[in-house]
Structure 1
């Protein structure tokens, strides 16, 4: 298959985001490193549905959340779980716990049901690569829905350079301050970065939302050095975050409470990582790379309920320590075969302390506190292989497999009745893709990928709290799994481009918690008035969807673009013998973005204007009990503008007006009302 350089329009085709690249920059673009194959490959030739968000697009964004950077990527949905400052993402309908989140190819693990919150330093991100659809063969458990890889900035070409940034968010009266110094001294590349982000209460057309404030701050240090064919790199980072949790007042009323509060006063993460890469070490060994990292995540979760006669409170203080490593060798076995072979190992150690309080305002002698302590471990080891076979110049077959060995274990607990057996699993999964360039700049692709998610430590070892009820762990749980089929078409012509992907996913063994029955033999059954729950494999889903990205260049400075995601998702909860499937999954059948963008030069300065519409259709969500919640469709009008000023474009000003019609709405996958009409502003200075 030809590996020509390709115009920048192809990159815009692959992005599917509103901040498309400037048409004035059209021309030749060198090949792009993508996550889809763990090898360098142009986006146009990727065998998977792949989205790349570039450094230029990141610089033109004004949001204060990393998740906002991905809002318009096809197949992506934002979820907030009532936490405005700790958003997560879903891919193709799969929950965030089934999406692998990576930083420089290293996974951020999380054993909570909500998935990984995206509390990263936005200004250290060089680009974001999103693989839509299962990436379990190359990236392990949790990648059933897809992979999001945040690739960080490295050093610079000069001895010294600096960037300063200031952002304002009118929806929260929030401020973001950021700064970085970077360069190269005596052959060593370096970058030191820091950011502070403060979000106030969210303003909506219905008024200000209580308990929606959040703060996060971070710093990081990067060092790298080249030794002939070898390169060594190190990176450390420290992220501190906290957030209030919004509770719908109707929930308090429906439960007969006078108040109900939740908070996450700590959601911190510390990481140290080492990287090695060697290029062209022999005639057949094209590349050798290895990395290792240690990551510590600290979390405190608090909740309390208040009624006239009883008050309850609980606090969970947990620490998750992750140690991971990977070795991968790239082999050129012949002119037509490129083989990668890798070994990966990941260990999670969870330690959590619990304190539950029960108080009776009218009978304080009945008050009591119950402490608790748990420790558990999850070990994941895997071998993966992938061969890229160039059958002809225009036809390529990519086939891969991964063999897992998984083990989870409860190491220690002070719950006297809880004894959980060790759980082990060994499984091999496969993936295969075919890419055919049937005409110049016209490509068809087809792929099949298996998905795999091993149960979390909460599922199998320590259990969890669901409100005031305990959820028993279940070492007999089967891993969640899926079969994923995808067809794709990419076309590029002189002034238009198209990227089309149609997919079908059949997923099974979804894990959720149900009330204990006699057959479950729950070790901690609770009481007759407040029975406990237990984790079970209770559901499956079939998802059919189409993602389309279309752009048309009206002139050298004016472009029309649009992205659409159509999705139909059918879910079945196997909670009772007569359970039936429902297509009320809570996912809207249609999401779309359409816009008109102009770019050019004004008085020796580059500028751009972007007027776009964003919206989704109505949807409905049915839970295990058969209760249906309707979500109204919505649409918003938005306008963005930016200009670069000064010598060498040292100053950049970006202005974005969102929800200009002041629409009252909430996205189907978010709990919070969306912000009303507001302005975001970002000023960047390069020194």
Structure 2
């Protein structure tokens, strides 16, 4: 364990080392480009993709000041993803986690936990208000594309975006009057299946889409070893279903106005796996069940373009969403030979959130493009908890004690903010992008059974966050960029107002006095594309503070009257410094359909607590994917194949439990995989994809917050369009 705290000199040295690595990574493809210049031809790549997510304006990835990645429709349709999270797992710096619940996959970005990542669906925020973060529960077959911002983006996308932003854009109506889509996937690793169907089209000025899907996954098959002796991972099954509706209307003399309604319902039930290493003295049994997590959402959208030479765009949206959750936790501990304690805790929650955004795009000057907007978001959490603790004692004589602790909490957070951003082309090939957002946040405890919190006053927080980005495209086929951005994450309603029962009967107490978590991020980047060579590289350094952790009330001195000294409570105490290099590169060999590629990240993250600091932060030093892709036309079909390796270095995570340090370890891992498929037909489109995963049947676990990986398995998917 490393107790040293990185100073400014060490941080500067790390940046210098990373800058040299970035320069080396940038120079290698340039050498390949020089060789390929005569025979290669420039073609569209992911850097040409136009995205709104990085700047809230239409900007190509190539010229974006932020670290932006796009997963487009073609990439989505080549896979058989069981979840949206699986579609972005190969974006550099992104990690998929599920916190032991296989049907509730979440994303970490640049080492930041999932509750510090903003999840958007068509630009509207999904909230969860749990310590685990927001699971991505959207039907993959209904997704047009996914945009990912890596790094803080609170100026543009709200008070949860310390780690980054994931914007999921769903499909609209097909261009024909009626189009039918259907498909299905089979997953041998879970003996699971997924099926979906949709009808969509455009009739006059109206477009529409109605889709539905369902899937069922059984316990996953994993290699025998550390986690199982029978090849099956108990508690890793789940099922869900999804129904989505889109209605759109184009109007106006120039057909430059668009009004849309989108609605969705997602139903999920999932088991939960328990790591056998966790079942050690005094813990005898530990089980979690999540029989319900149901999401219902409806949103309205209005967009207008080219209203005048000055007013270029107007966007307005509003939405309402509910998430109903049922959580059950059973724990049995034996603290002494003559005592046994069983605790059953249930939580029945409803999270309601609604809000909206209004934005106007202005061309006030030929060298400036300005946006301004307002946003409002209301989150309401209504939770009923019940804890039953049964204590058996044999000394001095057999006795049984039952303690029932029901609680009720209702609380809300209202977030109002105004934002502005200006893109200034101030010199040849230079563009400066500056943004500000001012937050006014009010938290309210409307109902509680906690005597310690009953007289709690409303809380108010104000915050100004900033960003500044610079791009330079003075070199041919190249864009260099620099970015400063700030992150800002409010405490969850559960952390501020809802107590949680631990297995031993102790409590983790709410703390309404928590401050927001904040971060500052610095980036340098380079992008290049020419003659079949494509490169996107970034060097980053992020400082985060006021992280929310837990500590015993006896040591904090901040617990309200009525809390026991043995109770724990949430406090602002922790910090983190993270730096690293992210790289995505490929080179299409001239005159062939072969494209070698690599994507991944090198990262080091130091956590700083009140009593110690450590670089054993549960984040691998290196992680990524490398392979070779082949594309060709064969007998009238577009055929592709992809042979690749996913890999990561070992993981260590050090924590302080009382007076003792504990370090958990996971070995490095690598899997060999092969995917292939094809598309045939113009009007009657057929798509087939097959993927062989973990061909060498290696046991692995990508993080301490993730289930062990599936063993040797195959996924088969078929899509048809009529």
TM-score by length of 2: 0.88
Q: Give the aligned partner of residue 141 of structure 2.
A: 123
- Measured in 2, the distance between the counterparts of 1:270 and 1:389 equals 41
Bigger drift between 307-316 and 27-36 goes to 27-36
Q: Which runs of 5+ in 1 are unaligned?
A: 1-12, 14-22
**1:483 maps to which residue?**
520
Cα offset, 1:377, TM superposition: 0.7
Task: After TM superposition, give the deviation of residue 305 of structure 1 in Å.
Answer: 2.0
2:270 aligned to which of 243, 250, 263: 243
Q: Structure 2: 5+ residue runs without aligned partners?
A: 1-28, 30-39, 225-230, 335-339
The match for 2:343 among 298, 312, 317 is: 312
Whether the 8 Å contact between 2:409 and 2:497 is mirrored in structure 1 is no
| Structure 1 position 129, deviation (Å) | 0.1
Q: Within 2, Cα distance between the matches of 1:426 and 1:527?
A: 32
Equivalent in the alignment of 1:594 = 626
| Alignment correspondent of 1:585 | 617
**CA–CA separation in structure 2 for the residues paired with 1:665 and 1:214:** 21
- The aligned residue for residue 605 of structure 1 is 637
**Alpha-carbon contact 1:288-1:328 (below 8 Å) kept:** yes
**Residue by residue, what CA displacement relative to the aligned partner does 1:510-550 show, whole Å, maximum 9, x if unpaired?**
0011111265353476657xx21111012101111000111
CA distance in 2, matches of 1:280, 1:647: 34
Going from structure 1 to structure 2, the CA distance change for 1:521 and 1:565 (only over 3 Å counts) comes to closer
Q: How many Å separate the matches in 1 of 2:457 and 2:664?
A: 39
Q: Does 1:263 align with 2:289?
A: yes
Structure 1 partner of 2:150 = 132
1:204-223 alignment, distance < 5 Å: 204-206=222-224, 207-223=231-247
Is 1:233 equivalent to 2:242 in the alignment?
no
* Aligned partner of 2:361 among 301, 319, 330: 330
Say if 2:552 is the partner of 1:520.
Answer: no
Q: Equivalent residue of 1:623, what SS? A: strand
What are the residue-to-residue correspondences of 1:140-159 with 2, within 5 Å? 140-159=158-177
The separation in 1 between residues aligned to 2:424 and 2:483, in whole angstroms, is 14
Q: Secondary structure at the match of 1:67?
A: helix
Cα deviations by residue, 1:610-638 (Å, 9 ceiling, x for unpaired): 00111011121111333111221111110
Contact 1:405 1:424 in 2 (8 A): yes
In structure 2, what is the Cα distance between the partners aligned to 1:507 and 1:588?
19
- Matched with 1:201 is 219
Contact 2:45 2:534 in 1 (8 A): no
Alignment of 1:344-493 (within 5 A): 344-359=375-390, 366-419=401-454, 420-467=456-503, 468-493=505-530
For 1:393 and 1:59, the matched residues in 2 are separated by 40
Cα distance in 2, alignment partners of residues 519 and 66 from structure 1: 40
CA distance in 1, matches of 2:634, 2:555: 75
SS of equivalent residue, structure 2 residue 665: strand
1:29-48 equivalence runs, <5 A: 32-48=50-66
Cα separation, partners in 2 of 1:520 and 1:504, compared to 1, 3 Å: same
Cα distance in 2, alignment partners of residues 418 and 225 from structure 1: 49
Quote the offset at 1:400 in angstroms: 0.3
Q: C-alpha separation between the residues in 2 aligned to 1:643 and 1:603? A: 11
Task: Give a deviation string over 1:305-347, Cα, whole Å, max 9, x none.
Answer: 2368442211100001001111000000111100000100000
User: 1:434, 1:647 → 2: CA distance?
Assistant: 43
Backbone CA RMSD of aligned residues: 2.0
User: Residues of 1 paired with 2:251 and 2:651: CA distance?
Assistant: 56
Q: Deviations over 1:207-250 (max 9, x none)?
A: 10101101111101000001123211000100111111111233
1:285 and 2:285 matched: no
Aligned mates of 1:648, 1:591 — CA distance in 2: 41
Q: Which residue of 1 aligns with 2:73?
A: 55
- Tell me how far apart the structure 2 counterparts of residues 520 and 421 of structure 1 sit (CA, whole Å): 20
CA distance in 1, matches of 2:164, 2:45: 30
Deviation at 1:162, TM superposition (A): 1.0
SS in 2 for 1:566: strand
When residues 136 and 68 of structure 1 are mapped into structure 2, their CA distance, relative to the original with a 3 A threshold, is same
Q: For 1:655 and 1:521, how far apart are their aligned partners in 2? A: 56
Q: Distance in 1 between matches of 2:282 and 2:416?
A: 45
Q: Secondary structure at the match of 1:551?
A: strand
| In 2, Cα distance between equivalents of 1:267 and 1:582 | 36
Corresponding residue of 2:298: 272
Counterparts of 2:564 and 2:434, CA distance in 1: 53
1:256 is displaced (CA, Å) by 4.0
For the residues of structure 2 that align with 1:645 and 1:435, how far apart are their CA atoms? Answer: 41
**Shift of residue 27, structure 1, vs aligned partner:** 5.0
1:365 Cα offset (Å): 7.0
> Separation in 1 of the partners of 2:193 and 2:124?
30
Indicate if the aligned counterparts of 1:596 and 1:611 stay in contact, CA closer than 8 A: yes
Question: Counterpart of 2:18?
Answer: none
- Counterpart Cα distance in 2 of 1:466 and 1:422: 27
Matched-pair contact (CA < 8 Å) for 1:53–1:127: yes
Kept in 1, the 8 Å contact 2:478–2:528? The answer is yes
* Alignment check: 8 A CA contact 1:171 1:676 kept: yes
Work out the number of aligned pairs and report it. 659
Which residue is 2:34 aligned to?
none
Query: Structure 1, residues 77-100: CA drift from partner, whole Å, max 9, x if none?
Result: 111111111111100011111000
Query: In the TM superposition, what is the alpha-carbon distance from 1:580 to its structure 2 partner?
Result: 2.8
Q: Is the 8 A contact 2:553 2:564 kept in 1?
A: no
* Cα contact 1:417–1:523 (8 A) shared by 2: yes
- Decide whether the 8 Å contact of 1:331 with 1:340 is kept in 2: yes
Corresponding residue of 1:254: 281
Q: Could you say which residue in structure 1 is the equivalent of 2:322?
A: 296
- Answer whether contact 1:33 1:42 (CA < 8 A) is retained: yes
The answer as to 2:537 corresponding to 1:496 is: no
Aligned equivalents of 2:79 and 2:464: distance in 1? 41
Alignment of 1:46-125 (within 5 A): 46-125=64-143
Aligned residue for 2:271, secondary structure, equals strand
Rounded to whole Å, the distance in 2 between the matches of 1:311 and 1:465 is: 12
Q: In 2 relative to 1, CA 673–31 (structure 1 residues): closer, same or farther, beyond 3 Å?
A: closer
Cα distance in 1, alignment partners of residues 613 and 44 from structure 2: 50
Retained in 2: the 8 A contact 1:408–1:460?
no
Asked if the contact 1:573/1:624 (under 8 Å) is kept, the reply is no
Cα distance in 2, alignment partners of residues 466 and 343 from structure 1? 41
Q: How many Å apart are 1:359 and its aligned residue?
A: 3.3
